[in-house]
Structure 1
Amino acid sequence: MAKKENYEEMLTKLQDILNNLESDELNLEDSMKSYEEGVKLVNKIYKTLNSYEGKISIIKQEKEVEFSESDGDK
C-alpha cells in the first residue's frame, strides 16, 4: 500500500519538478511527463488545502458555539 504524501512532501516534490523544467535539461517528452506530473500534484495539493480549510471551519464553528454558550452562563 502506497504511503500518502503529506502537504510538505508534495510541495517539495512540486518544487523539484519546477526546478527540472526550468533547467532546460529535459527533452520534450520528459518535459511533458514532468508537466503532467506537476499538474496532478497541484490538484492533490489543492484538494489537501480544501480539506484543511474544511476542518478549520468545523473547528472554528465548534469553538464559536462553545464561546457563545459560555457567555450565556454569566
Structure 2
Amino acid sequence: MAKKESYEEMLLNLQEILNNLEQEGLSLEEGMKAYEDGVKLVNKLYKTLNSYEGKISIIKDEKEVEFDKQDGDK
C-alpha cells in the first residue's frame, strides 16, 4: 500500500508543478498534464484542510463542554 502524503509533502509537490508550468518549453500536452495534476492536488489539499477543520471544531467543542462543566461545579 502506498504511503499517504503529508500536507507539507503535497504543498511541495504543488510548488514543483507550478515551477514546471512557469518554465518555457513545455509542450501543450505536458502543460495540460501538469495543470490536471495540480488541480487534483489542490482538491486533495482542500479536502485535507476541511478534515483538519472538522477535527479542530470537535476538539474545540469538547473543550468548551468540559469548561462549562467545571464552571457549574463551583
- Tell me the secondary structure at the aligned position of residue 56 of structure 1: helix
5+ residue gaps in structure 2?
none
Q: For residue 36 of structure 1, what is the aligned residue in structure 2?
A: 36
Residue identity (%): 77
Counterpart Cα distance in 2 of 1:52 and 1:20: 29
Q: For residue 54 of structure 1, what is the aligned residue in structure 2?
A: 54
Q: Kindly tell me the number of residue pairs found equivalent between the two proteins.
A: 74
Counterpart Cα distance in 2 of 1:17 and 1:71: 52
Q: Runs ≥4 in structure 1, deviation > 2 angstroms? A: none
Does 2:26 align with 1:17? no
Kindly report the root-mean-square deviation, in angstroms, between the aligned alpha carbons of the 2 structures.
Answer: 0.6
Does 2:60 align with 1:63? no
5+ residue gaps in structure 1?
none
When the two structures are superposed, what TM-score results if normalisation uses the length of structure 2? 0.97
When the two structures are superposed, what TM-score results if normalisation uses the length of structure 1? 0.97
